[in-house]
Amino acid sequence: MKKIGLIGGITWQSTQLYYQYLNEAVNRALGSSHSCKLILESVDFQEISEKQSAGDWESLNSDFAEIGKRLERVGAEIILIGANTMHLCADSIKAKTNVPLLHIAEATGEVIKAKSLKKVLLLGTKYTMGLDFYKHILESKFDIDTLVPKESDQKLVHDIIYNELAKGIITSKSRKVYQEVIQKSENLGAEGVILGCTEIPLLIQQKHCDIPTFDTTKIHSEAAIAFAIDA
């Protein structure tokens, strides 16, 4: 089994899920008392959030490339970024390291393609919904058309992530907001919904939706374990 290097703390709420999902996936695959070989470097999300808000992606690219290098030096054989938005720094990490980086959008695209869906809603931070780095991968590599909410709904989705989910606050009121956004996308032809922020599965699960949900935290974790075991 290869050793996974996880960049966590983006936020620690979802990093908990990664740790759970990675270990569960190993145990399902190998049985007995097997668990995941993992190196974790956890960042201070306040620092990340401030640089995001300031648009300082150059600094974030540099920071994450350095983290990737450190993980490689201490034995990581595959790198995971434990957040959808911070895959904006994926290319910088790849340029500075010599081990594979498993991209969350590519892992998610594979699962959606396997279900033969062509149009999906993407929920996430304003960066994930508003920029093209995620949607481009889904379209160019998997021929998947990606819808995003209208701007006012994007703000609601984003604010709930940063002000509530990142702090472990889960409310039925916010769940209803997300469900209403998802319903609007169904009316526009969405066949599924990508939970494209690793905290969203804390709030929304399949039982809350009429269309298929794609839990990117779980998808990313399971793809990483498949690689770690099979490679």
Model confidence over 144-200: pLDDT tens digits?
Answer: 999 999 999 999 999 999 999 999 999 999 999 999 999 999 999 999 999 999 999
Per residue in 30-66, pLDDT (tens digit) is: 999 999 999 999 999 999 999 999 999 999 999 999 9
Portion of the chain with pLDDT greater than 70, in percent: 100
Segment 117-137 shows an average pLDDT of 95
Res 26 pLDDT > 90: yes
Domains 4-103+219-230 and 104-214 alike in fold:
yes
Segment 107-121 shows an average pLDDT of 97
- Note the pLDDT of residue 216: 96
- Note the pLDDT of residue 230: 82
- Note the pLDDT of residue 53: 94
Res 120 pLDDT > 60: yes
Per residue in 201-221, pLDDT (tens digit) is: 999 999 999 999 999 999 999
Segment 104-129 shows an average pLDDT of 97
Give the architecture (CATH level 2) of 4-103+219-230. 3-Layer(aba) Sandwich (3.40)
Res 231 pLDDT > 80: no
> Which CATH fold topology does 104-214 show?
Rossmann fold (3.40.50)
Domain ranges of the chain: 4-103+219-230, 104-214
- Note the pLDDT of residue 129: 96
Show the 3-state SS of the chain.
Answer: CCCEEEEECCCHHHHHHHHHHHHHHHHHHHCCCCCCCEEEEECCHHHHHHHHHCCCHHHHHHHHHHHHHHHHHCCCCEEEECCCHHHHHHHHHHHHCCCCECCHHHHHHHHHHHCCCCEEEEECCHHHHHCCHHHHHHHHHHCCEEECCCHHHHHHHHHHHHHCHHHCCCCHHHHHHHHHHHHHHHHCCCCEEEECCCCHHHCCCHHHCCCCEEEHHHHHHHHHHHHHHHC
